[in-house]
Chains A and B, each alone.
Chain A
Amino acid sequence: MSTVRVLAGTRKGAFILTSDGKRKDWQVSGPHFAGWEIYHLKGSPVDKNRLYASQSSGWFGQVVQRSDDGGQTWSTAGNTFAYDGVPGTHQWYDGTAHPWEFKRVWHLEPSLTDPDTVYAGIEDAALFRSTDGAATWQELSGLRKHGTGPHWQPGAGGMCLHTILLDPANPLRIYIAISAAGAFRSDDGGQSWKPINKGLVSSFMPNPTAEVGHCVHHVAMHPSRPDVLFMQKHWDVMRSDDAGESWQEVSGNLPTDFGFVIDVHAHEPETLYVVPIKSDSEHFPPEGKLRVYRSRTGGHEWEALTRGLPQSDCYVNVLRDAMAVDTLDECGVYFGTTGGQVYASADAGDNWTPIVRDLPAVLSVEVQTLP
């Protein structure tokens, strides 16, 4: 029977939650790297025991960890993220020019074909790649230098590159997203980049439809249709059917179109999941009810999924990298909250159960489906 491994990054360490294909009984391993912020950890799709983890601390900075045995043991990897050339400036919160400074790794995206190749999305926003199992890192500086960089600015959480999507059908195509700059695409393996934000409207910007400056929270893609993208923006849930060339709003009947996570069902490319959050000044669910919303129509029409989720007095948040799906026949959906719960649904969202209730605030959730 298959095994499911949930990788949870939290404010105070990493946790690895394991179950069989029934996804009823869970073993909890952790905290790994106790006391450190684990923004993200993720496994290689071609070597499922190869895991990469971003470990950071306000005191001690950035560490990268690597495991070759599914998270049982770890070894430190390279943590030098040197911008290519003179980094230049981006916009600060007050609109003044501010120098690019490395702060932390937000997201690690292992290659679809090579376990030793992994991409890192960092704050201040840039994309790095390692081809030696995270020992050394090189910036793909065409992103930061393509021209709009001086107009990027930090969101409330910092100017982070948080989303990296690798196109399974085209090894030269990469999508990334930055808060607050927008989404970008490379068609040459990361050497050159273009903004792909046409159709996004952000009222907090002087020009709401500008080419860059949008606070994109997360972007998701189904591997069978890599030209179709789904985006949870600061406000608005968006969809693109042309590899990001244009976007249309699909928020439909959501109770609020603010939120952070968005993901796609493993076997139904038109089935989406979001967790609506009341507003950007109240980072909790509307009415104190934690509800996942599912669309089976690629957006526009959404249904609330509530069974097993708290429907009163719930004021947690669900952060941008804290939702994932497994690939079992009946797709499992998982998300973590800032209240320390990791919820799992073994039936595509119809019913939910907390795997754990009292972890530190959950920053990221990834899932591995093991044979």
Chain B
Amino acid sequence: MIRVILPQHLRTLAQVGGEVALEVPGPVTAQAVLNALESRYPMLRGTIRDHETRQRRPFLRYFACAEDLSHESPDAALPDAVVRGEEPFLILGAIAGG
């Protein structure tokens, strides 16, 4: 199972508590994880990546295993620790405000 941690607003929107656990058919990439996430929680479509281009929304980042994966290819394999379910795939909103 792939573990995904959503930002608080998206947890509220999807009506989930903590982490989300997803079955993701291999190869496990950011694209595959997001496809599985949006399939399970259709209300998240368009909130993480653009409906049409599938590009990450500008103020969101993808982290895993203490690495920023935001600029990796969405088709690149995620770290083994994520694939084994030892580490979560984090979707973060940029820190901003004032």
Contacts and interface: CB of A to CB of B under 8 A. Distances in A.
A59 B9 contact: yes
B51 to A, nearest CB: 5
A36 B57 contact: no
B61 to A, nearest CB: 11
Given A80-B51, A82-B51, A82-B52, A60 B45 contact: no
B66 interface: no
A301 to B, nearest CB: 44
Given A80-B51, A82-B52, A63 B43 contact: yes
Interface of A: 34-36, 57-63, 76, 79-80, 82
A60 B43 contact: no
Contacts of B47: 60-61, 63
Interface string B13-48: 100000000000000000000000000001101111
Contacts of B59: 58-59
Contacts, number: 41
Interface residues of B, number: 19
The 6 closest A-B pairs by CB, nearest first: A76-B43, A60-B47, A59-B59, A59-B93, A79-B46, A80-B51
B7 interface: yes
Contacts of B96: 58
A62 B45 CA distance: 10
Given A79-B45, A79-B46, A80-B51, A61 B57 contact: yes
A53 to B, nearest CB: 13
B9 A57 contact: yes
Nearest to B43: A76
A59 B94 contact: yes
A103 B51 CA distance: 13
A34 B11 CA distance: 12
Contacts of A61: 46-47, 57
Contacts of B10: 60
Nearest to A76: B43
Between A36, A60, A62, the greatest number of chain B beta carbons within 10 A of the residue's beta carbon is seen for A60
Between A35, A57, A59, A62, the greatest number of chain B beta carbons within 10 A of the residue's beta carbon is seen for A59
B60 interface: yes
Given A58-B96, A63-B46, 6 more contacts: A60-B7, A60-B47, A63-B47, A76-B42, A79-B46, A80-B51
